[in-house]
Chain A
Amino acid sequence: NAGVMQNPRHLVRRRGQEARLRCSPMKGHSHVYWYRQLPEEGLKFMVYLQKENIIDESGMPKERFSAEFPKEGPSILRIQQVVRGDSAAYFCASSPQQGSGNTIYFGEGSWLTVV
């Protein structure tokens, strides 16, 4: 049973370009979460999605960031017009069902570097 798969693992973008990060949840998991980790910091919640629905995006920056989890295919975190401050590790996690207290499983992360 493959774990949460994220790609690319490392991504370099110039300022102003777009970054697209993909996440395939574990098999059977229909809940996806995105977290961001700045250097030397803990993870910060960004968004929680179910298939075709954004449930909680309270941690998403108001501009340039968007996320989707289509009926078919991986979840996508999209960052438009990247700036240096977007450089971070972006982690996706998934869980099998709704309900607080369920363990969520993290992927290996996508490291974005903006030059």
Chain B
Amino acid sequence: SQQGEEDPQALSIQEGENATMNCSYKTSINNLQWYRQNSGRGLVHLILIRSNEREKHSGRLRVTLDTSKKSSSLLITASRAADTASYFCATDLRTGTASKLTFGTGTRLQVTL
């Protein structure tokens, strides 16, 4: 498996429900980032969590990081149809140099009315 694998590959929920996506990685990281990508569009940065942080919040988003298990989760609470997109985790392995991100294959989230 590659660095940064998301689970599940696809998720379908109803509006108002919570969506949880998981990401596992293999090597030590400096930080981990989550991005959203709408179909045919670029990536939108959601949250960056550093290796010495365990949890971060941003609006309806909550990200956790467990470096002992080499895993992270992204929780979207009270989902909306507009949250329909692919979500990618990206790990940053470098320290002291510019970011070189390694992306997973993404979780495709479908939020239905």
Contact = CB atoms under 8 A, between A and B. Distances in A.
A48 B98 contact: yes
Among B30, B40, B48, B50: residue with most chain A CB under 10 A: B40
Nearest to A40: B105
Chain B, interface residues (CB within 8 Å), range: 20 to 34
A98 B44 CA distance: 20
Interface stretch (A70-78, A80-88, A102-110): A102-110
Contacts of B103: 35, 42-44
A73 to B, nearest CB: 21
Interface string B13-25: 0000000000000
Q: What 8 pairs across the A-B complex have the smallest Cβ distances?
A: A42-B103, A108-B42, A106-B43, A100-B94, A43-B103, A106-B42, A42-B105, A98-B98
Interface of A: 4, 31, 33, 35, 40-45, 48, 55-56, 91, 95, 98-109, 111
Given A35-B103, A42-B106, 12 more contacts: A33-B98, A33-B100, A35-B101, A42-B88, A42-B105, A43-B88, A100-B94, A100-B99, A101-B31, A105-B45, A109-B42, A111-B40
